[in-house]
Amino acid sequence: MTSPSEETPPLKVLLTQLDWNLQWLHQMEKNERTDYYRDAALQRFGFAFDSAVKCIRAAAEQRNRGCPSSEECFELAETLNWLPEGAEWRKLIQDHQALKSESEPRETDAVFDRLKSHRNILKILFDRLVIVAQSS
């Protein structure tokens, strides 16, 4: 049981944060490819990923289910068809974890190259969770 200070905010509130992060991530794709914009886009991906996990967790709690880890949350999202069929969510998690560690520049560039695909997965997740939020 979480303490009041650790309670998950309402799904609708979390969805606005995810939407904002996805919009900014999409905007980053339009910028020229420089180290500055790459790093900004990767940072925004981290924010979007963290927001997505919080949204999945909140939606799971509405169904009296839990997902303590990001992997468990994405597994649950896949089971409940909140992710697009065949989504490479494990790669999404790996890339997020790689960014949290000291990654080689080559690896960072590879993650950057996959951001559009990752954003598309998170956008579909967002759209499906909006429907979940409206039905609750």
For residue 93, what are the domain limits?
A: 4-135
Task: Identify the CATH number of the domain in which residue 27 sits.
Answer: 1.20.120.330
Is residue 11 a contact partner of residue 55, using CB atoms and an 8 Å limit? yes
Tens of pLDDT, residue by residue over 35-91, are: 999 999 999 999 999 999 999 999 999 999 999 999 999 999 999 999 999 999 999
User: Looking at residue 54, what DSSP letter applies?
Assistant: H
Band the pLDDT of 6: cuts 50, 70, 90. Answer: low
The answer to whether the pTM exceeds 0.95 is no
% of the chain beyond a pLDDT of 70: 95
Q: What is the pLDDT of residue 106?
A: 82
Q: Three-state SS string across 26-81, please?
A: HHHHCCCCCHHHHHHHHHHHHHHHHHHHHHHHHHHHHCCCCCCCHHHHHHHHHHCC
Tally of structural domains, the chain:
1
- Residues listed for the chain: 136
pLDDT for 76-124, tens place per residue? 999 999 999 999 999 999 999 998 887 677 888 999 999 999 999 999 9
